[in-house]
Amino acid sequence: MIRANLLPPRKEKLRIFGVGIERELAATWAFAAAAVAAVAAGTFGVEALAAARAQRDVDAATAAVAAHAAFRSRAQALALEVARYQEFARELDIVSPSGSERADDVVRVGNALPRRVWLDSLVSSGDHIELSGTSASLEAMGTALAALDGALPGSTATLVRLERLQTGARALRFAARMDAP
């Protein structure tokens, strides 16, 4: 003979914070809360790992950018300098006469000087020529300036500096400038 208890099981009640709750229902809620907490903790852990990896990548990229900052600024400075030199070259091609014309100008200036005036330096700077040298006397210097005034077409000669080499001597040191028209 088989015996069966057809009566519902006896429900036990727990008292939690003064509230009576059935034991089975409390166990179900506890299991559900533990499952939700486990899923939330797993999701949070995966997201924290992804964020840490992304932060490491950002830190590595920032370090690489910082390491190359000096190279970038030097490259930018060089690029600006090259552009400036290219602009100078373009302007020089437009403005400057050919080498043979400059050589003719130097010859004209040299031929215009009287015998008692000697050049130490002749520097051509685009729109003017700077001269420096020695003169045997003040008269020779005056003759030289008058001759330089007409040496190049349309140019004017100006005395920039004049000084005696020694006290009581007639020899003079001079600096002059010839401006192009």
* DSSP assignment of 88-130: HHHHHHHHPPPHHHHHHHHHHHHHHS-TTEEEEEEEEETTEEE
Pick 79 or 122 by higher pLDDT.
79
Helix%, strand%, coil% for the chain, nearest 5: 55, 25, 25
Judge whether residue 16 has pLDDT over 80.
Answer: no
Predicted pLDDT at 99: 64
Pick 100 or 120 by higher pLDDT.
120
Give a yes or no: residue 19 inside a domain. yes
> Are residue 121 and residue 155 in the same domain, yes or no?
yes
Which tokens sit at 118?
Answer: 């000697």
Residues 92-100: what's their mean pLDDT? 63
How many structural domains does the chain have?
2
Measured CA angle at 72 (ends 69, 78), to 5 deg:
140
Query: What domain range includes position 134?
Result: 99-179
d(CA 121, CA 108): 15
Predicted pLDDT at 93: 66
Residue that is last in its domain, among 65, 95, 125: 95
Predicted pLDDT at 171: 84
- Confidence grade of residue 74 (pLDDT, cut at 50, 70, 90): very high
Judge whether residue 86 has pLDDT over 70.
Answer: yes
> Are residue 120 and residue 53 in the same domain, yes or no?
no
Report the chain's mean pLDDT, rounded to a whole number: 84
Pick 61 or 14 by higher pLDDT.
61
CA distances 19 to 14, 23, 102, 115, 162, Å, are: 8, 12, 111, 128, 116
Predicted pLDDT at 97: 57
Note the pTM of the prediction, 2 decimals.
Answer: 0.43
Residue that is last in its domain, among 29, 60, 95: 95
In degrees and rounded to multiples of 5, residue 29 shows phi and psi of -65, -40
Q: Using CA atoms in the order 38, 41, 46, 52, what is the torsion angle rounded to 10 degrees? A: -160
Judge whether residue 39 has pLDDT over 80.
Answer: yes
Whole-number CA gyration radius for the chain? 49
d(CA 168, CA 181): 38
> Are residue 33 and residue 75 in the same domain, yes or no?
yes
Asked if 147 contacts 176 with a C-beta cutoff of 8 angstroms, the reply is no
Residues 36-60: what's their mean pLDDT? 94
> Are residue 156 and residue 114 in the same domain, yes or no?
yes
- Each residue of 118-167: pLDDT tens digit? 988 888 776 788 889 999 888 888 888 888 887 888 888 888 998 887 77
Contacts of 130 (CB under 8 A, 6+ apart): 121, 122, 123, 160, 175, 176, 177
Residue that is last in its domain, among 31, 65, 95: 95
Predicted pLDDT at 26: 78
